Amino acid sequence: MTTKPASRPTNSNFSSGPCAKRPGWTPQQLNDAPLGRSHRAKVGKAKLKLAIDLTREVLEVPADYKIGIVPASDTGAVEMALWSLLGPRPVTAIAWESFGDGWIGDITKELKLKDVTKLKAGYGELPDLSKVDPASDVVFTWNGTTSGVRVPNADWIKADREGLTICDATSAAFAQPLDWAKLDVVTFSWQKALGGEAAHGMLILSPRAVARLESHTPAWPMPKIFRLTKGGKLIEGIFQGETINTPSMLCVEDYIDALNWAKSVGGLKGLIGRADASTKVITDWVAKTPWVDFLATDPAIRSNTSVCLKVVDPAITALSPEAQADFAKKLVAAVEKEGAGYDLGAYRDAPPGLRIWCGATVETADVAALTQWLDWAFETTKASLNQAA
């Protein structure tokens, strides 16, 4: 029997959203937030513009791309793009996990578009991206948060494409390199790779996306919070800090703090390096641990943020699907009870197993400590199962 580890992670938060706050974070970091002031006052606009400017700097967004702060987290940003941009061309919708599948549902059931090609794959896999029609608008997630699978690159997107690419990058931004030349719409939320607070989304538009907005009028009614144009022209203020609805200036200050921290650790390159280092700890642990494996079998498509694992011990895989799911829940509960790791369970729609956030705000040493607790929890939970039998 594995001995209970002697030490716990310094920060035991491994949730895939909202994610761990940056190392060293305290509420006192937010003392400069203009609370009680209007977001449309000079001070409010300046903070919102600073958040946009820092986003461009850290994410290395091209100068001619527009960056806006929008309502309703990443979901709101994606929906704004779908409702505002789709319609003029056929659509290729790609899904290999829960959120991508959700966008397909919105496109076909809510917008009721008919000329839609669905490219799907199961958890742990990618569909055949060579089948994407460059004449169509393409909707996809860069990193499948619930499956631990990401696209390895954007080589499958044609440089001379006719359609737009709409990319949900919420668990990829600030942790994986994004090929901006191949992306027309990019969305993410503050609560993911930088450990910001929830409810605010980011919408980034290429010049091609802006041209579509100014030339296309959707066939359906547009809610106020989705409207990006007025009189056939882009509402520029949205991309200069004039948000559509009222943002939390406390959350804005927190996002600014996270972006400044990102700069302090080497910007985008430093953030990617931190995520890669933590993922390598898990990769090395999986290689020497017979009871666990990655949900994604191909290393080239494995996420370095939402790392998804499955239990492969023969005694567990021989159980019924319901019993396997129960075992995974008990394993997670054992770790949580010890305060050694929180929110480690697989997403509710995904195969039973583990999901460990390894984004840049997580310390590599904490991931290493967690793996020891997972070994202990596995043996403890399996022993309990054997005793019950």
Q: Could you read off the pLDDT of 243-295 as tens digits, one per residue?
A: 999 999 999 999 999 999 999 999 999 999 999 999 999 999 999 999 999 99
> Rg of the Cα trace of the chain?
22
> Residue 147 in contact with residue 97, Cβ under 8 Å?
yes
Extract the tokens encoding 198: 């929830």
| Per-residue pLDDT at 385 | 86
DSSP per-residue string spanning 120-161: E--TT----GGG--TTSEEEEESEETTTTEE-S-STTS-TT-
Q: What is the C-alpha to C-alpha distance for residues 190 and 209, in angstroms, rounded to an integer?
A: 22
Q: How many CA atoms lie within 13 A of 104 on its CB side?
A: 17
Q: What percent of the chain has pLDDT over 70?
A: 99
The phi, psi pair for 345, rounded to 5°, reads: -70, 150
| Per-residue pLDDT at 386 | 75
Answer whether 0.85 is exceeded by the pTM: yes
What amino acid occupies position 226?
F
Assess whether pLDDT exceeds 80 at residue 332.
Answer: yes
| Per-residue pLDDT at 38 | 96
Q: Could you read off the pLDDT of 129-146 as tens digits, one per residue?
A: 999 999 999 999 999 999
| Per-residue pLDDT at 109 | 97
DSSP per-residue string spanning 166-185: EEE-TTTTTTS---GGG-SE
| Per-residue pLDDT at 387 | 77
| Per-residue pLDDT at 2 | 72
Q: Of all helices (H) and strands (E), which one includes residue 167? A: strand 165-168
- Tell me the CA end-to-end span of the chain in Å, nearest whole number: 18
| Per-residue pLDDT at 53 | 98
User: Which neighbouring-strand residues pair with 332?
Assistant: none
β 185-189/165-168 pair status: parallel
Give the confidence band of 169 by pLDDT, cuts at 50, 70, 90: very high
Closest Cα partner for 380 from 6, 1, 12, 9?
A: 1
Closest Cα partner for 294 from 180, 148, 176, 170?
A: 148
Q: Could you read off the pLDDT of 206-220 as tens digits, one per residue?
A: 999 999 999 999 999
SS3 293: strand
Domains of the chain: 31-263 (3.40.640.10), 266-388 (3.90.1150.10)
> Residue 362 in contact with residue 195, Cβ under 8 Å?
no
| Per-residue pLDDT at 389 | 63
> Residue 107 in contact with residue 82, Cβ under 8 Å?
yes
The phi, psi pair for 61, rounded to 5°, reads: -80, 135
Q: What is the C-alpha to C-alpha distance for residues 287 and 280, in angstroms, rounded to an integer?
A: 10
Mean pLDDT (whole number) for 83-92: 98
Q: Could you read off the pLDDT of 296-315 as tens digits, one per residue?
A: 999 999 999 999 999 999 99
Q: What percent of the chain has pLDDT over 90?
A: 97
